[in-house]
Amino acid sequence: MEFRHLGRSGLVISEISYGNWITHGSQVEEDAARACVKAALDEGITTFDTADVYAGTRAEEVLGRALQGVRRESLEIFTKVYWPTGSGRNDRGLSRKHIMESINGSLRRLQTDYVDLYQAHRYDVETPLEETLRAFDDVVRQGKALYIGVSEWPADKIAAALKLADEMGLDRIISNQPQYSMLWRVIEGEVVPLCEEEGVGQIVWSPIAQGILTGKYLPGQPAPEGSRATDESGGGDFIKRMMSDELLTRVQELKPVAADLGLSMAQFAVAWVLQNSNVSSAIIGASRPEQVRDNVKAAGVKLDADVLKKVDDILGPVIESDPALTTTNTPKKRP
């Protein structure tokens, strides 16, 4: 395993982290989830990412149990707050009330006294940014989180948060967690340049595009049984937009490029996002331990410029890079 600083902070994290969105407490049984976490630890992963909303809070519980007995100081545990975790009017968003109540719930479920990184899962248009930043700062002052970050915030919101934190003398965000892959590059135009300048690192999710970049989905053929595309608990809906024959055909053309490098398609996809110097870590998910063991082999891989050009040439028309799309994940109102 290789390690990188998270943004310009002193926190060092594994450049491949383990995330449990859609899997723990939902797609896979707890025994399988524990086996995946053990495989991650065995392979040198020290960074684990989750969120209170995953599997209706069950994902945090499963991860907490799976990490019991591991020296806490040897881990970096990340979680998030924003989406509804209850039926009450205040069980959502980034108000002081929800942040303060949510961090306590997350710590209880994760069975830890603190998280290393606490992230705003989305931007909350219904709460003043000052209120959100002050509440996050108080969470840090109380020792319940060591650092703060955001997830899927567009560049203008990140810039506003950094400026306001400086003006108010509050802790700055050190990270953003966006979707990023060979196919989805919308952060490259505005988010990455801003974050490079301001010392904010990216912890990217879906580097394998929810399995699309493994090459297992073939054009003109039904999705393999048991794959993410057949998951009725949410995973299938997420990747429908990427199941076009043109996109799948172009992904198949990446196979000889990966083979020439001695990499599996998944390793190639993870290695690709790690070539971006603003990426501090790539999050992988798994339903089987062997997937973890395969993906971690992307750590430390260096791709030459000609390889990166081949990827661009092959995927060309199906690459999504419009910076305006960074705003599509900002809810216009609280859910």
Residues with a known catalytic role: 54
Alpha helices in 278-335 (DSSP H): 289-295, 305-315
Residue 277's identity, in one-letter code, is S
Which two structure tokens, joined as six digits, stand for 256?
A: 């000889």
The rounded distance, in Å, linking the Cα atoms of 269 and 308 is: 11
Residue of 152, 207, 150 whose CA lies nearest to 328: 152
Encoded amino acid at 185, one letter: R
Query: What single-letter DSSP state applies at residue 286?
Result: -
Closest CA to 309 of 283, 272, 278, 280: 272
The kind and range of the H/E element at 156 are: helix 155-168
Rounded to whole angstroms, the Cα distance separating 46 from 255 reads: 30
Distance in angstroms (rounded) separating the CA atoms of residues 39 and 23: 15
d(CA 121, CA 79): 9
Amino acid identity, position 32 = A
Strand partners, 148: 118, 173
Instruction: Copy the structure tokens of residue 126.
Output: 């219904």
